[in-house]
């Protein structure tokens, strides 16, 4: 007896006259996905060490953060200078 499958095991009807690949035809995903890093990253990011989340991975995060802040401050200064220059009348 046992349980009957909910999903039909028949192949779906043809779409646009071509066959599509079935899940059984695709290669195994283990070969190209590699190791699951999510549990390791969860341990790293949930550790209570007083660091903000955006700096927990060390030097690359610090470099990215500082570059982003420098570009933001530089862009703000550039916009203020451009607004100041645009507000001044031109000499003829």
37-41: Cβ within 8 A, 24+ apart? none
Q: Is the pLDDT of residue 50 over 60?
A: yes
70 vs 56, higher pLDDT: 70
Q: Which residues in 77-92 are b (16+ Cβ under 10 Å) and which e?
A: eeeeeeeeeeeeeeee
User: pTM for this one?
Assistant: 0.51
Q: What is the pLDDT of residues 1-41, one digit of tens each?
A: 567 667 666 776 666 665 555 555 655 555 566 888 899 98
> Which CATH number describes the domain made up of 50-91?
4.10.91.10
pLDDT band at 79 (very low <50, low <70, confident <90, very high): very high
The model's pLDDT over 58-78, given as tens digits with 9 standing for 90+, comes to 899 999 999 999 999 999 999
Q: What is the pLDDT of residue 26?
A: 56
Domain definitions of the chain by residue range: 50-91
């Amino acid at each position: 007896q046992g349980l009957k499958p909910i999903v039909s095991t028949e192949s779906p009807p043809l779409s646009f006259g071509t066959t599509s690949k079935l899940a059984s035809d695709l290669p195994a995903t283990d070969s190209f996905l590699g190791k699951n890093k999510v549990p390791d990253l969860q341990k790293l990011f949930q550790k209570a060490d007083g660091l903000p989340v955006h700096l927990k991975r060390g030097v690359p995060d610090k470099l990215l953060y500082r570059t982003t802040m420098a570009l933001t401050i530089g862009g703000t200064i550039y916009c203020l200078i451009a607004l100041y220059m645009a507000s001044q009348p031109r000499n003829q």
